[in-house]
């Protein structure tokens, strides 16, 4: 098992073009890969309920099976347990899974589950452009993902930037994000807490109705914007504005940056002001 520590930023439709023109990336080695990902669960969603994601990733002729535990997300920064191994030379079930490998993990979410009942439930297919940023003890993989989530006939776009920490302090992720977002013109980006898998599950089953959290934190605002962007539900739009207003009222130091985001939300637009989001994250 390894711990995956990454920072996820959603990009507007103009974001990839601006990112590719950023001078910081021009001096880094880069490559592109096409990834096809098939996610598995039982029909009643046992893994989803346990906040576990199971996928088989296709990279050319290779097949990798991955189990990810629930992520702890804060301001777009997430950490989760991850188990990944090749299944090219293993016996697979009718559904295409290495069930013996899953059993060997002894993961609590799998212990009481009949693994033969696992079936494909949705797919994510995207092109990934990769760079590697190294400076001193810091080593970060930069990934630009563009593609789509598919659940039956329903679709959601994938347009996101992921910074994964290979070595160094997690704060280096925000330092690099600020450098990438701070060009001219600035990169239209925002932090996101929802993984591709959680977005796909909402696409399959429908989005929940927003409930007022007991206390308001920045992650509650990010969650509301995540849900609104995908669902286009006015209730989530109102929740994003009210949560941000409450956060600003309880933390006066956040007012200037918060007002910039709130003004965009009031216009009915997604706030892609990465600098304002970064100010909120660091102040929180």
In the chain, what are the domain boundaries?
A: 2-191, 207-283
Quickly state the pLDDT bin for 226 (edges 50, 70, 90).
Answer: very high
Sequence-distant (6+) residues with CB within 8 A of 208 are 202, 227
* % of the chain with per-residue pLDDT over 70: 95
What is the reported pLDDT for 72?
59
* Residue 162 tokens, joined: 């992921």
pLDDT at 4 exceeding the cut of 80: no
Topology of domain 2-191, per CATH? Hypothetical Protein Pfu-838710-001 (2.40.320)
Both tokens assigned to 41: 């669960």
The reported pTM is 0.88
- Report pLDDT for 76: 55
pLDDT score for 153: 95
- Cα distance from N-terminal residue to C-terminal residue, the chain: 30
Alpha-helical regions (H) of the chain: 15-20, 23-26, 46-49, 99-105, 108-111, 171-181, 196-205, 218-231, 234-250, 255-266, 274-283
Name beta bridge partners: 77: 7, 74
**pLDDT class of 284 with cuts at 50, 70, 90:** low
Which residue would you say has higher pLDDT here, 228 or 280?
A: 228
């Amino acid at each position: 098992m390894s711990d995956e520590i990454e920072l996820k930023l959603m990009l507007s439709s103009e974001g990839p073009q601006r990112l590719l023109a950023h001078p910081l990336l021009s001096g880094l080695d880069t490559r592109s890969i096409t990834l096809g990902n098939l996610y598995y669960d039982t029909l009643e969603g046992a893994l989803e309920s346990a906040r576990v994601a199971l996928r088989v990733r296709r990279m050319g002729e290779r097949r990798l099976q991955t189990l990810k535990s629930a992520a702890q997300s804060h301001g777009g920064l997430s950490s989760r347990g991850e188990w990944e191994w090749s299944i090219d030379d293993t016996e697979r079930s009718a559904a295409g899974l290495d069930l013996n490998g899953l059993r060997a993990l002894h993961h609590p979410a799998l212990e009481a589950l009949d693994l033969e009942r696992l079936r494909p439930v949705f797919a994510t297919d995207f092109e990934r452009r990769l760079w590697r940023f190294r400076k001193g003890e810091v080593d970060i993989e930069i990934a630009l993902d563009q593609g789509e989530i598919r659940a039956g006939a329903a679709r959601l776009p994938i347009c996101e930037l992921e910074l994964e920490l290979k070595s160094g302090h997690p704060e280096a992720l925000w330092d690099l994000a600020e450098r990438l977002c701070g060009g001219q013109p600035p990169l239209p980006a925002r932090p996101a807490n929802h993984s591709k898998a959680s977005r796909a599950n909402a696409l399959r089953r429908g989005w929940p109705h927003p409930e007022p959290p007991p206390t308001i934190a920045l992650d509650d605002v990010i969650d509301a914007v995540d849900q609104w962007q995908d669902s286009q539900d006015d209730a989530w739009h109102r929740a994003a504005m009210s949560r941000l207003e409450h956060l600003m009222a309880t933390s006066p130091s956040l007012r200037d940056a918060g007002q910039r985001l709130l003004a965009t939300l009031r216009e009915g637009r997604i706030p892609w002001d990465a600098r304002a989001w970064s100010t909120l994250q660091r102040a929180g």
